[in-house]
Structure 1
Amino acid sequence: MDDPDIGAVMGFSGFGKKARTFDLEAIFEQTRRTAIERSRKVLEKEQTAAESLQSTPCTGKLSTPTRKEHPEAIARSPVGDESENEDSDSSSSDLIGPPVPSSLSRLSVEEQANAADLPTSSDKLLGDTDEEEEEDDDDDNPVKRIPDSHEITLIHGKKTVSALGLDPSGARLVTGGYDYEVKLWDFAGMDASLQAFRSLQPCECHQIKSLQYSATGDVILCVAGSAQAKVLDRDGFQVMECAKGDQYIVDQAKTKGHTAMLNGGAWHPKIKEEFVTCSNDGTVRTWDMNNEKKHKNVFKPRTAQGKRSIPTTCAYSRDGKLIAAACQDGSIQIWDRNMNVHTKFHNRQAHVPGSDTSCLSFSYDGTTLASRGGDDTIKTWDMRNFRNPLNVATDLPNIFPMTDCCFSPDDKLLVTGTSVRKGQGSGKLLFFNRETFQRLYEIEVTDASVIRCLWHPKLNQIMVGTGNGLAKVYYHPVKSQRGAKLCVVKTKRKAKQSQTVTQDYIITPHALPMFREPRQKSTRKQLEKDRLDPVKSHKPEPPVSGPGRGGRVGTHGGTLSSFIVKNIALDKTDDSNPREAILRHAKDAEQNPYWVAPAYVKTQPHAVFADVESEEELEDDEPEWKKRKL
């Protein structure tokens, strides 16, 4: 809190609202010194005047003063009327008049000035107020500064809230979860119904891993399960999308971006265009918003054997000069932002190998690093001696790869959440003393895991994301500022209902205008209306003459083929049995022969037909080998 750069970046100069105090001892000391100095000057002038009087010859005449000296006028001289003192000294050079009061001698002035240093009852009334006593108590006991007297619940969805972000001014909150949704909340625009003003899916079917506002609060870094991070504006619209690398290139430094799922990301605390991301491809990359086609720098975490190590989380230091990453081999590796080859600090045995360290957080003074391990521990590290942890707390269940830990705004407390299985208890928010690591306080949040936690220094409010889709905000009506206090006092907006007198009508279906035929009032108007109707005013096409054109078959002409086609088409007889069809004309052909019979009437012999019975007898007399096989 003593660093002016940190105060300028975070947008605050102190913690909470504090009454104005005055240093009364400094004021009295300055007054005493001023009084002594002025009285010394007056006495020196009196001595010089007396010496000048002794050096001048005596003429036997006494000089008369121009004005009468009065003790009150002399009493005002030490306070600051030097012009009057000079006049009185020149006019009373002969020391005519009443002597200087003993209360204004040099010793008495010094005694009065020394006595002014002692506090009086009025000074106590000015300096010691009830507010200052309460604040002194709060300074001694940091637990009393935890704003947990009131809370509100924001319903994000039914699945885990895995990302939480608050802008530097504290006006807007953004939440993301396993349901792929990102919701934006505006405290000043919400009422008591606590509804988000926007909901979107920026990364389609990828779980949201991290959401964070930039240092200026104008854009949001969205890190999801895909290989490409996105930057959104304050209203949720996409501003930039990072490039994706070539997954067939072995050297990750040669690719333009990540080639595997992202695990985390963070903004630079002072450069508003720069951010960092880490991925399962084993790299930590920095990006510039002005160049989305390629990363800015690449850091490669390595194991003790020099093999690739997967980073699970990454973070900037408070001054932005260091980049820290925690890896799956249990190590914490820290690089200088401008030196990407070798690490500046590293610890190979920070946490249990194979566990996912879920969070790295730097203290506000920049000397301490807190790490939340997947091995159910939380540790603090001194940046000046990174070999051994300062403090360790165990038995803190952690089953999510993004469980948070953060420092309080006054840097005296360390906050983290615990995870629970379904139906096995309640998730808690734990507060540890930073120096002694004593568990000072805990809050039972809900019957699900506590994953994300954020303590905003300007609002003095705590935001918590849980495993059952809730985002809770804890605040105090006096110690907290704005934020949740703005929306809880607003009543729910009532839906506007138009109050009109209506009359019920019974309408038969075919009485509606769409079914009812309009009554014709004039024939001329009906003709004009039909003329506008393209169906009724359509001119029929003329018959096709000739063989046909445009896909239309022409009418039959004088050819034999067209005549036969017409007759066949018009013939309604059934020709399914051809024998019956022929025998139908046998009687007519016998009585009125026309084609063949008249030409052979004279020469045609009489037809003799075989008897059917005789044929059957002959067939019976024939040998077996001549009989036809039926």
Structure 2
Amino acid sequence: CSHQIRSLQYSVTGDVILVVAGNSQAKVLDRDGFQVMECIKGDQYIVDMANTKGHTAMLNDGCWHPKIKEEFLTCSNDGTVRTWDLTSEKKHKSVFKPRSLQGKRVTPTCCTYSRDGKLIAAGCQDGTIQIWDRNLSVHTKFHCRQAHAAGSDTTCLTFSYDGVTLASRGGDDTLKTWDIRNFRKPLAAVTGLTSFFPMTDCCFSPDDKLLLTGTSVKKDEGNGKLLFFERESLQKVYEIEVADTSVVRCLWHPKLNQIMVGTGSGLAKVYYDPVKSQRGAMLCVVKSKRKEKHAETLTQDYIITPHALPMFREARQRSTRKQLEKDRLDPLRSHKPEPPVSGPGRGGRVAAHGGTLSSFIVKNIALDKTDDSNPREAILRHAKEAAENPYWVAPAYKKTQPDPLFAEEEEEEVDEDQPEWKKRKI
């Protein structure tokens, strides 16, 4: 649809995928790419966004409910966070409106559910993080005013697996962790993590001990990195230089135990542990890379000596094409396949026909070579018997036409006196 893709996510059951693009209508596709649902577009002339049936401006983020497979969440530049039900596309399910300290509308740039699905969190353009109870959309349950720098788009919010800690990745090049029970100040913070993309995210490791995020770089100014921090202190534990481009998205899959990384250049990488990881990349690794087939050309140096004695003169080198044509005739060099086995089989090779009915018919009837190869002789073999004991045509005419009468050819008389143009042309 020629819009920038902001978020893609499979549902909990993995049978549908949520596509949040830069337009105002999120789509849900099945695994074959066919559309299951498209959110309705709201009326942009209504002032109160709670009275519109859908978003009226560009979407920023979206995600699925962790427990209810039909519900998903979207946030938009129209200043609302909306939940949707897969079964009813005519209207949103509920609306959450983030507000500034003065009660004015602010734009949510990212949104997420808590791990149990009871809380909905949104990071806003004024630097606030606002969290609602999923069933109470009017007032926020938790609210942090100056979580990140105002005007810098908070790019990602994610809850830890135990549901206590919230991590936020800010557009002000920071990564912070929060205890939602004491939401006044961050537990820990890391600065200097360059971020150019509004989708740069962070995620927790499956054991909840590490937090990872990516960094952005300008062209030809170093490599984008994947950084690992301790959850409690945000001390850097490990870093991976991914590529000479920005690291945008990262996902640490809890079941496969693999890290998927997406970059600004379109390159995607998967990091895995050969012992601890399961399936996923492990299924691809065992497949060996196909050996590229190079044309077998003469590689030895050819020295031209025009005045050498005949005994020292080298044979003139053939062209590559002629050499390949010659190699083609050589059954060893051209890897000529072995002819099919006839008979019971030999040398460990089994004959081509199997044990099915079709192969039996092919073997016994279709490939029956007892008949002559000359069809005329095969038909004339029965001519004498057919003349003596006619079965089809001849008996029908025995009573009505015992003697066959054939049309006689008459010669046409040509009148010599006729003009030339009247004479029949033969």
Tell me how far apart the structure 1 counterparts of residues 233 and 131 of structure 2 sit (CA, whole Å): 25
Q: Distance in 1 between matches of 2:101 and 2:40?
A: 31
Which residue is 1:431 aligned to? 228
Shift of 1:490: 2.0
The equivalent residue for 2:252 is 455
Which residue among 78, 83, 107 is the counterpart of 1:310?
Answer: 107
Question: Given the superposition, is the C-alpha separation of residues 492 and 238 from structure 1 closer, same or farther in structure 2, using an over 3 Å criterion?
Answer: farther
State the match for 2:123 in structure 1: 326
**Offset of residue 350 of structure 1:** 0.4
Query: CA 1:237–1:319 in structure 2 vs 1: closer, same or farther (change >3 Å)?
Result: same
| Alpha-carbon distance in structure 1 between the residues aligned to 2:66 and 2:47 | 32
Shift of 1:487: 1.2
Give, in whole Å, the separation in 1 of the partners of 2:93 and 2:288: 49
Distance 2:275 2:247 in 1: 26
Could you tell me which residue of structure 2 aligns to residue 278 of structure 1? 75
Counterpart of 2:264 in structure 1 is 467
Counterpart residue type for residue 335 of structure 1: W
| Structure 2 Cα separation of the partners of residues 458 and 396 of structure 1 | 28
SS of residue matched to 2:282: helix
1:340 aligned to 2:106? no
Which residue, 46, 49, 57 being the options, matches 1:249? 46
- Greater fraction of residues in strand: 2
Q: What are structure 1's unaligned runs of at least 5 residues?
A: 1-203, 501-630
For 1:177-576, what aligned pairs fall within 5 Å after superposition? 204-491=1-288
2 CA distance for matches of 1:316 and 1:406?
Answer: 13
Q: Which amino acid aligns with 2:149?
A: V
**What is the deviation of 1:237?**
1.4
SS at match of 2:185: strand
Q: Tell me the amino acid that sits aligned with residue 27 of structure 2.
A: K
C-alpha separation in 2, matches of 1:327 and 1:477: 40
Matches of 2:140 and 2:7 in 1, distance apart?
A: 25
Secondary structure in structure 1 of the residue aligned to 2:183:
strand
Q: What SS class does the counterpart of residue 485 from structure 1 fall into?
A: helix
Larger Rg: 1
Partner of 1:544: none
Once residues 269 and 213 of structure 2 are traced to their aligned partners in structure 1, the CA distance between those partners, rounded to angstroms, is 15
| Equivalent position of 1:549 in the other structure | none
Q: Name structure 2 gaps, 5 residues minimum.
A: 293-333, 338-426
Q: C-alpha distance in 2, partners of 1:254/1:266?
A: 23
Deviation at 1:435, TM superposition (A): 1.0
Residue 345 of structure 1 deviates from its aligned partner by 0.3
RMSD, aligned α-carbons:
1.7
Cα offsets for 1:384-437 (capped at 9, x unmatched): 101110001001001110101000000000000001111111000000001121
Letter aligned with residue 311 of structure 1:
P
For CA contacts below 8 A with separation 6 or more, give which structure has more relative contact order: 1
Give TM-score scaled by structure 2 length.
Answer: 0.68
Quote the Cα distance in structure 1 between the aligned partners of 2:204 and 2:129. Answer: 19
Tell me which amino acid in the other structure corresponds to 2:251. Answer: L
Match of 1:576 in 2: none
The CA deviation at 1:479 is 1.3
Percent identity between matched residues is 78
**Which protein has the bigger helix share?**
1
Quote the offset at 1:488 in angstroms.
2.1
Task: Provide the secondary structure at the position in 2 that maps to 1:487.
Answer: helix
* Count of residues in correspondence between the two structures: 296
Matches within 5 A, 1:134-145: none
**What is the CA distance between 1:494 and its match in structure 2?**
9.8
Q: Secondary structure at the match of 2:279?
A: coil
CA distance in 2 between partners of 1:351 and 1:452 (Å) = 20
Rounded to whole Å, the distance in 2 between the matches of 1:493 and 1:221 is: 35
Query: Residue 37 of structure 2 aligns to which amino acid in structure 1?
Result: M
CA distance in structure 1 between the partners assigned to 2:96 and 2:158 by the alignment:
19
Classify 1:475/1:282 alpha carbon distance in 2 versus 1 (closer, same or farther; 3 Å): same
Q: C-alpha deviations, 1:299-326, integer Å up to 9, x for none? A: 0001111110000000000000000000
Residue deviations 1:241-271, cap 9 Å, x none? 0000011111111111000000000100000
1:610-629 to structure 2, matched below 5 A, reads none
2: distance between equivalents of 1:408 and 1:487? 23
Q: Give 2:362's aligned residue.
A: none
